[in-house]
Structure 1
């Protein structure tokens, strides 16, 4: 098997101490009092007026601005915050990319979002739908028994452009904030002037080390990313339980995969000096061969993460990293890209040896259906009555029930289709749904459809006279162990005039 490319990491590290988030075993309920236990073991960083606390899971960053010096329980949003994120992590303000959260005027528990236009300039509050939220609390906290102002946030990771699945670095962002108090009176920025100069922002490092129940872990290969190997069936597809960190249904695998060891087993093996192991892979219908991959992992040194590289010996054997050290990905046995592999059912085998010998101690095999292909998307035709409407045409639509019908294809031959969405955009940020369909387990290995008539009967009518873009998107039911990956989008533009 050809040697896989070396993976390098170029995450910038700040001289200032970063905020290190910890894993939220259960989703944090920001509506519950901060003293009820949800914030126990949260990462913490001091600022001049209080503390910042952080946890995260695979979906959200949970952040608290614990303003211990704001002891005046004055109502309304005369007390307020700004919370900014550098969404492309380039340490500079990027117009319509970087985000600032604040309050809706007069609504202390309604989170607003705006984009930066430049230093100290914003778009104004946006109407985008969001699962992010804020709750204000006044009371004691783990940092002070004296009642004070507390802002608790649930920030959707996708909104700040963070994903736990990054193969080349530990997930991170840069952030800054302002807290304003009327009584006592102060306005504090952290860091000072952050909203004009993003080079001052502080780094926030997210955790991707969930506490997976030991009963779900495989004996040696505990999980693939966040997915326990006991949740992967003999066909190499994964299904996790409802309410798990990420819910996957009959999912294939793709992208860069992390095979993570069973923590208790890794500690036992390392303590006994059995740290030599081999990783092998077998393609569909083929025999096992050594899986050779180089990768990097960040190790926490007490103040920041430092990069360490890992590679096999000249004979294809790996050495287990010390489980006592705090890595960005603990117990990582191997990280390898699958983009060059043809779709199909693969077998991956990990073998540990006794000491430095060649005597086999323990092995485990896991089946993985690997598929990096994306579904096909084709707008086969757009018809007005019996006439085909070509791209860029200007078409006049008569009185109801006159309209358009479509034929579309959304097809995945390997049966790993997850969702189909067909919609039209028009005007200023407006859209209209035409057709959608999502996977459910009754579909089995869903391959989708070809040349399907939409709508099944009658016609689709545009909401108004305008230029329209008809967009067809199909997403794959494929995961890298952390999130869904892979989609295909196509569009066709028309101008429609209502008669």
Structure 2
């Protein structure tokens, strides 16, 4: 049976241990039995009626409510759950922001989502686009007696968690209810959580994937989650479609984490070769020392404690012990790139033998294309026939084929455009797509377009008489090693009468 890491609740709430999620090397299918291996080594907390288990990857939180006390295999949805998350992590219920998951009415294997309106009050329920729930009745890693199990696959975006946070380990606050009709009980964890978010328990997510050793660089194994072997001579990265972070010909930007090859760092540590320097060279320039201060979170056994790192007065760094559990293991340097001009940079990491400055123990040079410029967006013109329609105008559209034409710009001179979306919003939450285009590798370094006619032929007609906001959004093909970052948008408002 799988061995689990148990963190029992034995202390008052003020000092309660968090639930520490572990990395899911492969995505967990909620439909697979809980004993099939996917939940092995999951982070675990005990509650009054069972256990809650957690794993995550770069896209999903995999959570299991293992209700070992619910041994009655009754049908229907009289047995149910609530699962709440503090979306903005302020330990208070925020109306129309914080979320609660539950059974979709009459469908135990269909997930519903709603937002809090206040303590114990919610909006109507809808179906989340990516999150899932599957109910299981059987044995688990925590009990050989068959019992109720709820298994979740929660989209991290729905609970406002991102592994790319540079200044904090990713976390959320959560609480849940499980209800059983046979035997009869209702158990809240923590008690009355749905009325008082100060009682919610912290859930700390992992951002320590197991990257195949064949993909890791010899010294600098990865930038964030992207192996350095996946960075091409152009300084842009491409990863496989099924990888944690799928990027295509992506430049780098934002705050970057250079993460060492674990095996190599262990060898350097054992040989007492712990001193290293990091250098950077601008396009066409020579190397200078890259000086940066950063913080990493060290696991103490009950929580993460902040630990600061900085170079010596001579610009050299000391390797952190690879045997210590950090929020970001094997972190060599964390540095912001927002002040750097776009272009192909060289970065070099050099480890020295012992305490000297001359004999090199290990060295690696990287080339990365850095681009923090956002794509330019503009609605160049809106025309009704041959006449320009000014912003805030009230325009009457005649019978078909009468309508509007547009000219729009979505341009990235560095060639790092990822996608363009041009659409209109109107009425009560309604929208309609007008034009979109997405990157494909055949486009190379795609710069987009300027003053493009939309539609190419004919006219665009509004669905109904209403006030419209026309919006152009351009996203950047730039990554911080964990996800794509950067977008720009513009809009123009008109009232159209049909």
TM-score, scaled to structure 2? 0.96
Distance 1:267 1:183, change over 3 A: same
Corresponding residue number in structure 2 for 1:429:
429
Q: Which digits, 9 at most, give the CA deviation of each residue in 1:136-193, with x for residues without a partner? A: 1111111111111110000000110000000001000000001111111111110001
Corresponding residue number in structure 2 for 1:446:
446
- What SS does the aligned partner of 1:34 have? coil
How far apart in 2 are the matches of 1:14 and 1:363?
A: 46
- What SS does the aligned partner of 1:58 have? coil
- What SS does the aligned partner of 1:381 have? strand
How far apart in 2 are the matches of 1:182 and 1:398?
A: 62
- What SS does the aligned partner of 2:214 have? helix
Corresponding residue number in structure 1 for 2:155:
156
> What is the CA-CA distance between 1:130 and the residue it aligns to?
1.5
For structure 1, which runs of at least 5 residues remain unmatched after alignment? 1-12
Corresponding residue number in structure 1 for 2:480:
480
- What SS does the aligned partner of 1:215 have? coil
Corresponding residue number in structure 2 for 1:258:
257
> What is the CA-CA distance between 1:361 and the residue it aligns to?
1.7
Q: Which digits, 9 at most, give the CA deviation of each residue in 1:406-432, with x for residues without a partner? A: 100000000000000000111111110
Corresponding residue number in structure 1 for 2:140:
141
How far apart in 1 are the matches of 2:495 and 2:77?
A: 46
How far apart in 1 are the matches of 2:404 and 2:334?
A: 49
How far apart in 2 are the matches of 1:124 and 1:190?
A: 23
Corresponding residue number in structure 1 for 2:23:
23
1:287 pairs with 2:286: yes
- What SS does the aligned partner of 2:157 have? helix
CA RMSD of aligned residues (A): 0.9
- What SS does the aligned partner of 1:246 have? coil
Corresponding residue number in structure 2 for 1:458:
458
Q: How does 1:29-428 map to 2 (within 5 A)?
A: 29-126=29-126, 130-358=129-357, 359-428=359-428
How far apart in 2 are the matches of 1:15 and 1:392?
A: 56
How far apart in 1 are the matches of 2:76 and 2:383?
A: 56
How far apart in 2 are the matches of 1:91 and 1:257?
A: 29
Are 1:216 and 1:228, in contact at CA under 8 Å, matched by a contact in 2? yes
Q: Which digits, 9 at most, give the CA deviation of each residue in 1:270-297, with x for residues without a partner? A: 0110000000000000000000000000
How far apart in 1 are the matches of 2:294 and 2:69?
A: 45
How far apart in 2 are the matches of 1:401 and 1:34?
A: 58
How far apart in 2 are the matches of 1:260 and 1:426?
A: 46
> What is the CA-CA distance between 1:497 and the residue it aligns to?
1.0
How far apart in 2 are the matches of 1:468 and 1:242?
A: 37
How far apart in 2 are the matches of 1:255 and 1:173?
A: 23
How far apart in 1 are the matches of 2:272 and 2:77?
A: 60
> What is the CA-CA distance between 1:126 and the residue it aligns to?
3.1
How far apart in 1 are the matches of 2:317 and 2:412?
A: 37
Are 1:14 and 1:203, in contact at CA under 8 Å, matched by a contact in 2? no
For structure 2, which runs of at least 5 residues remain unmatched after alignment? 1-12
How far apart in 2 are the matches of 1:380 and 1:126?
A: 38
**Number of aligned pairs?**
485
> What is the CA-CA distance between 1:14 and the residue it aligns to?
6.1
How far apart in 2 are the matches of 1:137 and 1:427?
A: 42
Q: Which digits, 9 at most, give the CA deviation of each residue in 1:312-368, with x for residues without a partner? A: 000001000000000000000000000110100100100000010112222100011
> What is the CA-CA distance between 1:383 and the residue it aligns to?
0.8
- What SS does the aligned partner of 2:469 have? strand
> What is the CA-CA distance between 1:445 and the residue it aligns to?
0.3
Corresponding residue number in structure 2 for 1:4:
none
Corresponding residue number in structure 2 for 1:6:
none
Are 1:109 and 1:135, in contact at CA under 8 Å, matched by a contact in 2? yes
How far apart in 2 are the matches of 1:252 and 1:347?
A: 13
How far apart in 2 are the matches of 1:483 and 1:124?
A: 31
How far apart in 2 are the matches of 1:280 and 1:209?
A: 25
- What SS does the aligned partner of 2:434 have? strand
- What SS does the aligned partner of 1:267 have? helix
